[in-house]
Amino acid sequence: MGTPATVRAWESHFTLYRTIWKSNMLGAFLQPLLYLVGMGLGVGALVDRGDNAENLLDGLTYFQFLAPGLLATTAMMVCTNEAMWPVMGGFKWMRGFHAQAASPLSPGEVAGGLALWHATKGLISVTGVAAVLALFAETRSFGLLLAVPFGALTGVAFAAPLTAWSATRESDNSFPAINRFIIMPLFLFGGAFYPISQLPNWMESIAKVTPLWHGVELCRGAVHGRLGVGEALVHIAVLVSLALVGWLAARITFARKLAA
Amino acid sequence: MPTDSNAPLITAEHLVKRFGDFVAVDGIDVEVPRGESFGFLGPNGAGKSSTMRMIGCVSPVTEGRLRIFGLDPATDGKQIRSRMGVVPQMDQLDEQLTVEDNMILYGRYFDIPRAECKRRAKELLEFVQLTDRAKSKIEPLSGGMKRRVTIARSLINEPELLLLDEPTTGLDPQARHVLWDRLYRLKQRGVTLVLTTHYMDEAEQLCDRLVVMDQGKIVAMGSPRELIEKHSPREVLELRYPAGTNDERASDLDGVGNRREVLPDRVLIYADDGEAALAEVHRRGSRPESALVRRSSLEDVFLRLTGRSLVD
């Protein structure tokens, strides 16, 4: 007896995951591996051979530059998807959130259990990427241990506000648009593939306020041991604020949906 | 055992539920003693489910006073919910998980240790006759089986009060009878049942006492027998005439029985003595295609009180 309510709500998500963990973990490892071999080695060979290659990326090879960002982008992709369709399922399809709300769990605890699950899922997928990075000498470092929680935090910073919004939807019609118009642009312009200083000034300013850029900077800095404490704290503060605001908003939207 | 075992399990006084301007429940008074099987009857939109959600402590009371186990849902919702079981209108099972995992997962919400959940799940699946399906996933099960899993699951916390929202809607007759039998056994074990239904046979089978709701109000209350006696004569004579001629034929029958109702397909005559009414119909020279005398049922009461118009 005596398991915290939020953890009890989390257990249901974890129980479901246990039925698919083998294929999921294999994917979490293979996907970044293919991506890194394709982009990192292929594109990297071109970039590193170019003029002035040493100064372009602050002395990093393209592979070294690209690979850590994958920790943040993977967490973003995995967690945003967990914050859309499964949320609709909990309210409308399988209706698991209603089942939880009929038990002693409160709507806030239902939302909390899901947030905790998003952190867990983020951690699992980022660990898969970190395992791949550890295979390559260019990215093998103890900084990976720090980059894993940074990556997971990036995922939660996306999942929490999105969960709160998803809970207000009546259908899943608008979810693909989130992927197309928010997640894809961030993926392309969030500093994962090239330094955002390459962008026009106005775009650079936008990129700097997106959570993905903060996550990418944290992970890259951690892996290569170049992270200043001050800048780290700023990045972390941005991501933690987003996660907190999202979580509080989700408590409200879940209560509206479950306790009408 | 609680010391106040004679106090009513549920007390509702002038209970109101509003959604914006819409009044779903309009000041109802209900008292359910421990061990009783109590029903809410009514057409769709009568306010049954809103009432159930308030009793289930998920939907806040707009106005009035509600006490369950003597506790106030506004302040003790968690404690109340931990002592009751809920069978929702739509099953909320995780289709990808096994029957057993669904039960354990639900038990964990109540902070019941995993091993104990497992032990209770085994016992409860035996009770709903699904022992051989414990390791099966939910998805391939029939509607009746899923319903039985939902009922077994709702009992995992050994509730004193079980709320059932339309427990057999959409099931075939065999599946319904199996469920009724199980619910009757629960009642015999002392579990208080509160259910909503729009099946009259279900209400007659299961309910010691019931209320008929219409447009958020209670329009009648009593045991099934009492309601029939109070709101309908003892017997009903059902006459069938050739299609489309009911209205004109019916006028030949003025004064036969206590009351007459013309439906699209039948003419109903409510009478204390159905056979005598039929003899009178024949004496007047009226020749229906078929005639049937039956005891009046809760359905007659229900339709009389809530009208015959179709509610969607």
Distance from CA of A143 to the nearest CA of B (A): 37
What's the CA gap between B61 and B65, in Å, rounded?
A: 8
- Best of B109, B146, B154, B155 to disrupt the A interface (most A CBs within 10 Å) is B109
Report chain B's mean pLDDT, rounded to a whole number: 92
For residue A141, the enclosing domain spans 5-258
Terminal Cα distance for chain A, rounded: 30
Domain count, chain A: 1
Whether the Cβ atoms of residue B32 and residue B194 lie closer than 8 Å to each other:
yes
Terminal Cα distance for chain B, rounded: 44
Query: How many other CB atoms are there within 10 angstroms of residue A192's CB atom?
Result: 26
What Å distances lie between residue A119 and A78, B6, B265, CA to CA? 11, 49, 62
Question: Which of A 92-111 lie inside 8 A of B, CB atoms?
Answer: 94-96, 98-106
Q: Does A23 touch chain B (CB under 8 A)?
A: no
Q: Which domains does chain B have, with CATH numbers?
A: 10-222 (3.40.50.300), 233-295 (3.30.70)
What Å distances lie between residue B164 and A75, B13, B155, B161, B206, CA to CA? 42, 21, 12, 10, 12
> Are residues B19 and A260, on separate chains, in Cβ contact within 8 Å?
yes
Helices A21-35, A62-82: inter-axial angle, 10-degree rounding? 150
Distance from CA of A89 to the nearest CA of B (A): 10
pLDDT digits (tens, 9 = 90+) for A3-29: 999 999 999 999 999 999 998 988 888
Q: pTM of the prediction?
A: 0.92
pLDDT digits (tens, 9 = 90+) for B134-171: 999 999 999 999 999 999 999 999 999 999 999 998 88
Residue B5 has pLDDT above 70, yes or no: no
B242: tokens are 């050739």
What Å distances lie between residue B75 and B38, B71, B165, CA to CA? 25, 8, 24
Distance from CA of A260 to the nearest CA of B (A): 5
Q: Which residue of A has its CA nearest to B112?
A: A1
What's the CA gap between A201 and A189, in Å, rounded?
A: 13
Helix (H) or strand (E) holding B113: none
Residue B120 has pLDDT above 60, yes or no: yes
Chain B interface residues (partner A, CB cutoff 8 A):
19, 56, 58-60, 77-79, 81-82, 86, 88, 90, 92-97, 101, 104-106, 108-111, 113, 157
The pLDDT profile of chain A, 260 residues, written as one tens digit per residue, is 589 999 999 999 999 999 999 989 888 889 899 999 988 888 898 888 887 777 788 889 999 999 999 999 999 999 999 999 999 999 999 999 999 999 999 999 999 999 999 999 999 999 999 999 999 999 999 999 999 999 999 999 999 999 999 999 999 999 999 999 999 999 999 999 999 999 999 999 999 989 999 999 999 999 999 999 999 999 999 999 999 999 999 999 999 999 98
Pairing relationship of beta strands B192-197 and B37-41 according to DSSP bridges: parallel
pLDDT digits (tens, 9 = 90+) for B263-274: 888 889 999 999
> Would you place residue B102 in the very low, low, confident or very high pLDDT band (cuts 50, 70, 90)?
very high
Q: Does A114 touch chain B (CB under 8 A)?
A: no
Q: Does A16 touch chain B (CB under 8 A)?
A: yes
Whether the Cβ atoms of residue A190 and residue A74 lie closer than 8 Å to each other:
no
For A195, phi then psi, to 5°, come to: -65, 140
What's the CA gap between B308 and B304, in Å, rounded?
A: 8
